Structure 1
Protein backbone atom coordinates (compact mmCIF):
# COMPACT_ATOMS: atom_id res chain seq x y z
CA UNK A 1 0.00 0.00 0.00
CA UNK A 2 1.18 3.50 -0.83
CA UNK A 3 0.48 6.53 1.38
CA UNK A 4 -0.25 10.04 0.12
CA UNK A 5 -0.82 13.22 2.07
CA UNK A 6 -4.11 15.14 1.88
CA UNK A 7 -3.47 18.73 0.70
CA UNK A 8 0.21 18.30 1.49
CA UNK A 9 1.96 17.26 4.70
CA UNK A 10 0.77 20.09 6.92
CA UNK A 11 1.06 20.88 10.64
CA UNK A 12 -1.61 23.62 10.79
CA UNK A 13 -4.72 24.48 8.79
CA UNK A 14 -2.93 27.47 7.29
CA UNK A 15 -0.38 25.15 5.67
CA UNK A 16 -2.93 23.07 3.74
CA UNK A 17 -2.36 23.25 -0.03
CA UNK A 18 0.72 25.43 0.50
CA UNK A 19 4.17 25.15 -1.01
CA UNK A 20 5.55 24.45 2.49
CA UNK A 21 3.24 21.47 2.92
CA UNK A 22 4.03 20.10 -0.54
CA UNK A 23 7.80 20.39 -0.08
CA UNK A 24 7.51 18.63 3.29
CA UNK A 25 5.40 15.87 1.74
CA UNK A 26 7.76 15.18 -1.15
CA UNK A 27 10.88 15.43 1.01
CA UNK A 28 9.28 12.89 3.38
CA UNK A 29 8.63 10.50 0.50
CA UNK A 30 4.86 10.97 0.22
CA UNK A 31 2.87 11.81 -2.87
CA UNK A 32 -0.04 14.14 -2.30
CA UNK A 33 -3.66 14.93 -3.05
CA UNK A 34 -4.59 18.50 -3.94
CA UNK A 35 -7.29 20.66 -5.53
CA UNK A 36 -7.18 22.39 -8.92
CA UNK A 37 -9.29 25.33 -10.08
CA UNK A 38 -8.98 28.04 -12.67
CA UNK A 39 -8.52 31.65 -11.59
CA UNK A 40 -7.85 34.70 -13.75
CA UNK A 41 -6.87 32.51 -16.69
CA UNK A 42 -4.49 30.22 -14.79
CA UNK A 43 -4.71 26.87 -13.03
CA UNK A 44 -4.28 27.28 -9.28
CA UNK A 45 -4.28 25.13 -6.14
CA UNK A 46 -7.29 25.87 -3.94
CA UNK A 47 -9.98 23.77 -2.24
CA UNK A 48 -12.33 26.75 -1.84
CA UNK A 49 -13.00 29.52 -4.38
CA UNK A 50 -9.51 30.97 -4.93
CA UNK A 51 -8.19 34.40 -4.16
CA UNK A 52 -5.32 36.40 -5.61
CA UNK A 53 -1.99 34.90 -4.68
CA UNK A 54 -3.15 31.27 -4.80
CA UNK A 55 -0.36 28.81 -5.57
CA UNK A 56 -0.20 28.07 -9.28
CA UNK A 57 -0.49 24.46 -10.40
CA UNK A 58 2.67 24.92 -12.44
CA UNK A 59 4.49 25.95 -9.24
CA UNK A 60 3.38 22.74 -7.54
CA UNK A 61 4.61 20.72 -10.52
CA UNK A 62 7.96 22.49 -10.34
CA UNK A 63 8.27 21.63 -6.63
CA UNK A 64 7.33 18.02 -7.41
CA UNK A 65 9.88 17.81 -10.23
CA UNK A 66 12.71 19.10 -8.03
CA UNK A 67 12.02 16.90 -5.00
CA UNK A 68 10.71 13.57 -6.28
CA UNK A 69 8.95 13.36 -9.67
CA UNK A 70 8.16 9.66 -9.15
CA UNK A 71 5.75 10.33 -6.27
CA UNK A 72 2.03 10.10 -7.14
CA UNK A 73 -0.27 13.11 -7.46
CA UNK A 74 -4.02 12.78 -6.87
CA UNK A 75 -5.59 15.82 -8.51
CA UNK A 76 -9.06 16.82 -7.37
CA UNK A 77 -10.78 18.79 -10.13
CA UNK A 78 -12.91 21.68 -8.91
CA UNK A 79 -13.67 23.34 -12.28
CA UNK A 80 -14.89 21.98 -15.60
CA UNK A 81 -13.11 22.25 -18.93
CA UNK A 82 -9.48 22.19 -17.77
CA UNK A 83 -8.33 19.14 -19.73
CA UNK A 84 -6.30 20.84 -22.46
CA UNK A 85 -4.43 23.12 -20.05
CA UNK A 86 -3.73 20.18 -17.75
CA UNK A 87 -2.51 18.06 -20.64
CA UNK A 88 -0.09 20.80 -21.69
CA UNK A 89 1.42 21.10 -18.20
CA UNK A 90 1.62 17.35 -17.71
CA UNK A 91 3.53 17.10 -20.99
CA UNK A 92 5.91 19.92 -20.06
CA UNK A 93 6.68 18.44 -16.63
CA UNK A 94 6.68 14.83 -17.87
CA UNK A 95 4.47 13.53 -15.06
CA UNK A 96 4.57 9.76 -14.67
CA UNK A 97 2.34 9.00 -11.67
CA UNK A 98 -0.92 10.94 -11.40
CA UNK A 99 -4.68 10.77 -11.75
CA UNK A 100 -7.65 13.13 -11.75
CA UNK A 101 -10.87 12.68 -9.82
CA UNK A 102 -14.07 14.32 -8.54
CA UNK A 103 -14.86 16.17 -11.74
CA UNK A 104 -18.49 16.24 -12.92
CA UNK A 105 -19.61 13.23 -14.95
CA UNK A 106 -19.92 15.16 -18.24
CA UNK A 107 -16.46 16.63 -17.61
CA UNK A 108 -15.01 13.15 -17.01
CA UNK A 109 -15.87 12.34 -20.62
CA UNK A 110 -13.45 15.08 -21.64
CA UNK A 111 -10.66 13.41 -19.65
CA UNK A 112 -11.44 10.15 -21.39
CA UNK A 113 -11.39 11.91 -24.74
CA UNK A 114 -7.88 13.31 -24.31
CA UNK A 115 -6.53 10.18 -22.62
CA UNK A 116 -5.95 11.58 -19.13
CA UNK A 117 -6.31 9.00 -16.30
CA UNK A 118 -9.26 9.59 -14.03
CA UNK A 119 -10.72 7.77 -11.04
CA UNK A 120 -14.43 7.25 -10.51
CA UNK A 121 -16.06 7.38 -7.09
CA UNK A 122 -17.44 4.54 -4.98
CA UNK A 123 -18.90 5.09 -1.52
CA UNK A 124 -21.77 4.10 0.73
CA UNK A 125 -23.91 6.77 -0.97
CA UNK A 126 -22.47 6.19 -4.47
CA UNK A 127 -22.96 2.42 -4.89
CA UNK A 128 -22.60 2.31 -8.68
CA UNK A 129 -19.35 3.91 -9.92
CA UNK A 130 -20.03 5.70 -13.19
CA UNK A 131 -17.73 5.16 -16.18
CA UNK A 132 -16.26 2.20 -14.31
CA UNK A 133 -14.91 0.48 -17.42
CA UNK A 134 -13.14 3.62 -18.62
CA UNK A 135 -11.75 4.71 -15.22
CA UNK A 136 -8.13 4.02 -14.29
CA UNK A 137 -9.10 3.53 -10.66
CA UNK A 138 -11.52 4.04 -7.81
CA UNK A 139 -11.67 6.88 -5.29
CA UNK A 140 -13.04 4.82 -2.39
CA UNK A 141 -14.82 6.99 0.15
CA UNK A 142 -17.07 6.43 3.15
CA UNK A 143 -19.50 8.84 4.75
CA UNK A 144 -20.40 6.46 7.58
CA UNK A 145 -18.39 4.04 9.71
CA UNK A 146 -17.56 0.43 8.83
CA UNK A 147 -18.65 0.53 5.18
CA UNK A 148 -15.25 -0.19 3.65
CA UNK A 149 -14.33 -3.88 3.70
CA UNK A 150 -11.47 -5.95 2.34
CA UNK A 151 -13.91 -7.47 -0.14
CA UNK A 152 -14.82 -4.06 -1.59
CA UNK A 153 -11.16 -3.22 -2.14
CA UNK A 154 -10.27 -6.65 -3.52
CA UNK A 155 -13.14 -6.59 -5.99
CA UNK A 156 -11.85 -3.42 -7.59
CA UNK A 157 -8.23 -4.56 -7.62
CA UNK A 158 -9.21 -7.85 -9.26
CA UNK A 159 -11.07 -5.85 -11.91
CA UNK A 160 -7.77 -4.16 -12.79
CA UNK A 161 -8.53 -0.86 -11.06
CA UNK A 162 -6.18 0.99 -8.75
CA UNK A 163 -7.85 2.05 -5.50
CA UNK A 164 -7.30 5.21 -3.44
CA UNK A 165 -8.90 4.88 -0.03
CA UNK A 166 -10.03 8.01 1.84
CA UNK A 167 -8.98 7.86 5.49
CA UNK A 168 -11.88 8.67 7.88
CA UNK A 169 -10.25 11.74 9.47
CA UNK A 170 -10.85 13.58 6.20
CA UNK A 171 -14.52 13.52 7.25
CA UNK A 172 -13.83 14.35 10.89
CA UNK A 173 -14.01 10.75 12.18
CA UNK A 174 -11.50 8.69 14.12
CA UNK A 175 -9.23 6.94 11.62
CA UNK A 176 -7.89 4.23 13.92
CA UNK A 177 -10.80 1.74 13.72
CA UNK A 178 -10.44 1.51 9.92
CA UNK A 179 -6.65 1.48 10.12
CA UNK A 180 -6.77 -1.40 12.63
CA UNK A 181 -8.90 -3.46 10.26
CA UNK A 182 -6.89 -2.48 7.21
CA UNK A 183 -3.59 -3.45 8.83
CA UNK A 184 -4.60 -7.11 9.11
CA UNK A 185 -6.18 -7.38 5.67
CA UNK A 186 -3.83 -8.99 3.11
CA UNK A 187 -4.98 -6.37 0.62
CA UNK A 188 -3.02 -3.76 2.60
CA UNK A 189 0.14 -5.24 1.02
CA UNK A 190 -1.09 -4.57 -2.52
CA UNK A 191 0.73 -1.73 -4.32
CA UNK A 192 -2.44 -1.05 -6.27
CA UNK A 193 -3.93 0.39 -3.06
CA UNK A 194 -3.23 3.94 -1.84
CA UNK A 195 -4.29 5.55 1.43
CA UNK A 196 -5.00 9.31 1.38
CA UNK A 197 -4.57 10.74 4.87
CA UNK A 198 -4.01 13.87 6.93
CA UNK A 199 -1.50 11.85 8.98
CA UNK A 200 1.00 10.39 6.51
CA UNK A 201 3.90 9.96 8.95
CA UNK A 202 1.64 8.27 11.51
CA UNK A 203 0.30 6.00 8.78
CA UNK A 204 3.80 5.01 7.68
CA UNK A 205 4.68 3.96 11.23
CA UNK A 206 1.32 2.27 11.79
CA UNK A 207 1.46 0.13 8.66
CA UNK A 208 5.21 -0.52 8.71
Structure 2
Protein backbone atom coordinates (compact mmCIF):
# COMPACT_ATOMS: atom_id res chain seq x y z
CA UNK A 1 0.00 0.00 0.00
CA UNK A 2 1.57 3.27 -1.08
CA UNK A 3 0.91 6.21 1.23
CA UNK A 4 -0.18 9.54 -0.28
CA UNK A 5 -0.06 12.31 2.32
CA UNK A 6 -3.07 14.55 1.73
CA UNK A 7 -1.69 18.03 0.97
CA UNK A 8 1.60 16.87 2.45
CA UNK A 9 2.30 15.47 5.91
CA UNK A 10 1.04 18.38 7.98
CA UNK A 11 1.01 18.44 11.77
CA UNK A 12 -1.17 21.56 11.98
CA UNK A 13 -3.85 22.43 9.39
CA UNK A 14 -2.05 25.68 8.54
CA UNK A 15 0.78 23.54 7.10
CA UNK A 16 -1.38 22.01 4.36
CA UNK A 17 0.16 22.40 0.89
CA UNK A 18 3.29 24.05 2.30
CA UNK A 19 6.94 23.31 1.75
CA UNK A 20 7.29 22.10 5.35
CA UNK A 21 4.52 19.52 4.90
CA UNK A 22 5.93 18.30 1.59
CA UNK A 23 9.47 18.02 2.95
CA UNK A 24 8.22 15.99 5.92
CA UNK A 25 6.36 13.62 3.57
CA UNK A 26 9.18 13.22 1.06
CA UNK A 27 11.81 12.67 3.77
CA UNK A 28 9.70 9.75 5.04
CA UNK A 29 9.33 8.22 1.59
CA UNK A 30 5.65 9.09 1.25
CA UNK A 31 3.92 10.30 -1.87
CA UNK A 32 1.62 13.32 -1.69
CA UNK A 33 -1.72 14.48 -2.99
CA UNK A 34 -1.74 18.17 -3.79
CA UNK A 35 -3.64 20.80 -5.76
CA UNK A 36 -2.55 22.84 -8.77
CA UNK A 37 -4.19 25.88 -10.35
CA UNK A 38 -3.01 28.98 -12.17
CA UNK A 39 -2.59 32.52 -10.91
CA UNK A 40 -1.90 35.18 -13.53
CA UNK A 41 -0.30 32.60 -15.77
CA UNK A 42 1.81 30.98 -13.03
CA UNK A 43 1.12 27.48 -11.73
CA UNK A 44 0.54 27.46 -7.97
CA UNK A 45 0.04 24.77 -5.34
CA UNK A 46 -3.30 25.84 -3.88
CA UNK A 47 -6.60 24.17 -3.04
CA UNK A 48 -8.54 27.44 -3.09
CA UNK A 49 -8.08 30.48 -5.32
CA UNK A 50 -4.61 31.85 -4.45
CA UNK A 51 -4.33 35.43 -3.24
CA UNK A 52 -1.02 37.28 -3.17
CA UNK A 53 2.26 35.36 -3.15
CA UNK A 54 1.57 32.95 -0.30
CA UNK A 55 1.12 29.82 -2.44
CA UNK A 56 4.04 27.60 -3.40
CA UNK A 57 5.14 27.81 -7.03
CA UNK A 58 4.52 24.52 -8.86
CA UNK A 59 8.02 24.54 -10.34
CA UNK A 60 9.51 24.85 -6.85
CA UNK A 61 7.30 22.00 -5.68
CA UNK A 62 8.56 19.74 -8.46
CA UNK A 63 12.19 20.65 -7.74
CA UNK A 64 11.55 19.78 -4.10
CA UNK A 65 10.12 16.40 -5.10
CA UNK A 66 13.12 15.67 -7.33
CA UNK A 67 15.52 16.51 -4.50
CA UNK A 68 14.37 13.52 -2.42
CA UNK A 69 15.32 10.11 -3.77
CA UNK A 70 12.76 8.38 -1.56
CA UNK A 71 9.86 10.66 -2.46
CA UNK A 72 6.79 8.74 -3.60
CA UNK A 73 4.10 9.39 -6.17
CA UNK A 74 2.55 12.82 -6.74
CA UNK A 75 -1.25 12.76 -7.10
CA UNK A 76 -2.05 16.04 -8.79
CA UNK A 77 -5.56 17.35 -8.18
CA UNK A 78 -6.32 19.60 -11.16
CA UNK A 79 -8.24 22.67 -9.99
CA UNK A 80 -8.51 24.62 -13.26
CA UNK A 81 -8.98 23.84 -16.94
CA UNK A 82 -6.36 24.23 -19.64
CA UNK A 83 -3.20 23.61 -17.61
CA UNK A 84 -1.87 20.64 -19.61
CA UNK A 85 0.87 22.41 -21.52
CA UNK A 86 2.02 24.46 -18.55
CA UNK A 87 2.27 21.34 -16.39
CA UNK A 88 4.08 19.46 -19.16
CA UNK A 89 6.58 22.33 -19.48
CA UNK A 90 7.18 22.31 -15.73
CA UNK A 91 7.93 18.58 -15.82
CA UNK A 92 10.22 18.78 -18.85
CA UNK A 93 13.53 19.95 -17.23
CA UNK A 94 13.85 16.80 -15.13
CA UNK A 95 13.10 13.16 -15.70
CA UNK A 96 9.34 12.54 -15.30
CA UNK A 97 8.45 11.70 -11.72
CA UNK A 98 5.86 9.20 -10.59
CA UNK A 99 2.88 11.51 -11.11
CA UNK A 100 -0.76 11.20 -12.07
CA UNK A 101 -3.50 13.75 -12.64
CA UNK A 102 -7.11 13.49 -11.47
CA UNK A 103 -10.27 15.49 -10.79
CA UNK A 104 -10.10 17.55 -13.96
CA UNK A 105 -13.39 18.20 -15.73
CA UNK A 106 -14.34 15.54 -18.28
CA UNK A 107 -13.71 17.72 -21.38
CA UNK A 108 -10.39 18.87 -19.87
CA UNK A 109 -9.41 15.25 -19.13
CA UNK A 110 -9.40 14.56 -22.86
CA UNK A 111 -6.55 17.03 -23.17
CA UNK A 112 -4.52 15.22 -20.51
CA UNK A 113 -5.08 11.93 -22.28
CA UNK A 114 -4.03 13.47 -25.61
CA UNK A 115 -0.86 14.85 -23.99
CA UNK A 116 0.02 11.43 -22.61
CA UNK A 117 -0.41 12.16 -18.92
CA UNK A 118 -1.12 9.35 -16.49
CA UNK A 119 -4.74 10.02 -15.54
CA UNK A 120 -7.13 8.66 -12.91
CA UNK A 121 -10.90 8.75 -13.17
CA UNK A 122 -13.09 9.21 -10.12
CA UNK A 123 -15.46 6.54 -8.79
CA UNK A 124 -17.70 7.49 -5.87
CA UNK A 125 -21.26 6.96 -4.67
CA UNK A 126 -22.08 10.16 -6.60
CA UNK A 127 -20.24 8.96 -9.72
CA UNK A 128 -21.17 5.27 -10.03
CA UNK A 129 -20.03 5.15 -13.66
CA UNK A 130 -16.49 6.57 -13.88
CA UNK A 131 -15.82 8.80 -16.89
CA UNK A 132 -13.26 7.78 -19.56
CA UNK A 133 -12.73 4.52 -17.65
CA UNK A 134 -11.37 2.64 -20.64
CA UNK A 135 -8.67 5.28 -21.19
CA UNK A 136 -7.76 5.97 -17.54
CA UNK A 137 -4.66 4.45 -15.95
CA UNK A 138 -6.26 4.34 -12.53
CA UNK A 139 -9.26 5.07 -10.33
CA UNK A 140 -9.55 7.66 -7.56
CA UNK A 141 -11.92 5.72 -5.31
CA UNK A 142 -13.79 8.13 -3.08
CA UNK A 143 -16.50 7.92 -0.40
CA UNK A 144 -18.11 11.26 0.39
CA UNK A 145 -20.95 10.15 2.65
CA UNK A 146 -20.41 6.57 3.82
CA UNK A 147 -17.89 3.73 3.87
CA UNK A 148 -19.25 1.99 0.78
CA UNK A 149 -15.89 0.92 -0.71
CA UNK A 150 -15.59 -2.82 -0.12
CA UNK A 151 -12.53 -4.95 -0.93
CA UNK A 152 -14.57 -6.51 -3.74
CA UNK A 153 -14.98 -3.13 -5.46
CA UNK A 154 -11.25 -2.49 -5.18
CA UNK A 155 -10.43 -5.92 -6.56
CA UNK A 156 -12.75 -5.39 -9.53
CA UNK A 157 -10.81 -2.29 -10.57
CA UNK A 158 -7.47 -4.02 -10.06
CA UNK A 159 -8.68 -6.99 -12.12
CA UNK A 160 -9.60 -4.55 -14.90
CA UNK A 161 -5.94 -3.47 -15.00
CA UNK A 162 -6.45 -0.20 -13.16
CA UNK A 163 -4.35 1.26 -10.39
CA UNK A 164 -6.44 2.34 -7.40
CA UNK A 165 -6.07 5.23 -4.94
CA UNK A 166 -8.35 4.89 -1.91
CA UNK A 167 -9.57 8.07 -0.23
CA UNK A 168 -9.47 7.63 3.54
CA UNK A 169 -12.69 8.69 5.36
CA UNK A 170 -11.05 11.39 7.52
CA UNK A 171 -10.70 13.53 4.40
CA UNK A 172 -14.49 13.91 4.58
CA UNK A 173 -14.67 14.31 8.37
CA UNK A 174 -15.41 10.68 9.26
CA UNK A 175 -13.66 8.12 11.47
CA UNK A 176 -11.15 6.10 9.46
CA UNK A 177 -10.45 2.96 11.52
CA UNK A 178 -13.38 0.82 10.31
CA UNK A 179 -12.53 1.45 6.67
CA UNK A 180 -8.85 0.67 7.24
CA UNK A 181 -9.75 -2.60 8.92
CA UNK A 182 -11.96 -3.47 5.94
CA UNK A 183 -9.06 -2.76 3.57
CA UNK A 184 -6.33 -4.30 5.74
CA UNK A 185 -5.80 -7.45 3.64
CA UNK A 186 -5.76 -5.72 0.26
CA UNK A 187 -2.34 -6.21 -1.30
CA UNK A 188 -1.17 -4.88 -4.65
CA UNK A 189 1.67 -2.76 -5.98
CA UNK A 190 -1.06 -0.83 -7.80
CA UNK A 191 -2.82 0.27 -4.61
CA UNK A 192 -2.46 3.52 -2.68
CA UNK A 193 -4.29 5.37 0.09
CA UNK A 194 -4.66 9.14 0.42
CA UNK A 195 -4.75 10.09 4.10
CA UNK A 196 -4.28 12.91 6.59
CA UNK A 197 -2.41 10.42 8.80
CA UNK A 198 0.43 9.01 6.67
CA UNK A 199 2.48 7.90 9.68
CA UNK A 200 -0.44 5.92 11.12
CA UNK A 201 -1.18 4.38 7.72
CA UNK A 202 2.48 3.34 7.31
CA UNK A 203 2.38 1.61 10.70
CA UNK A 204 -0.96 -0.03 9.91
CA UNK A 205 0.17 -1.49 6.56
CA UNK A 206 3.83 -2.11 7.33
Category of TM-score, reference length = shorter chain = over 0.9
2:32 match: 32
1:207 positional shift: 1.6
* 1:50 counterpart SS class: coil
Residues 74, 99 of structure 1: 8 Å contact kept: yes
Instruction: Give the unaligned 5+ runs of structure 1.
Output: none
* 1:25 counterpart SS class: helix
Q: Tell me the matched-pair count.
A: 205
Distance in 2 (CA, whole Å) between partners of 1:18 and 1:96 is 19
Aligned pair 1:206/2:204, yes or no?
A: yes
1:142 positional shift: 0.5
Residues 69, 96 of structure 1: 8 Å contact kept: no
1:69 positional shift: 6.5
User: How large is the Cα RMSD of the aligned pairs?
Assistant: 1.0
Which of the pair is proportionally richer in helix? Answer: 1
Change (3 A) 1:70 1:27: closer
1:190 match: 188
Distance in 1 (CA, whole Å) between partners of 2:46 and 2:33 is 12
Instruction: Give the unaligned 5+ runs of structure 2.
Output: none
1:66 match: 67
Distance in 2 (CA, whole Å) between partners of 1:175 and 1:36 is 26
Distance in 2 (CA, whole Å) between partners of 1:201 and 1:70 is 14
1:132 positional shift: 0.3
Q: Structure 2 length as normaliser, TM-score?
A: 0.97
Distance in 2 (CA, whole Å) between partners of 1:151 and 1:3 is 21
Residues 70, 97 of structure 1: 8 Å contact kept: no
Q: Following superposition of structure 1 onto structure 2, how do residues 156-167 of structure 1 map, counting pairs within 5 Å?
A: 156-167=157-168
1:94 positional shift: 1.6
1:88 positional shift: 1.2
Residues 69, 95 of structure 1: 8 Å contact kept: no
2:151 match: 150
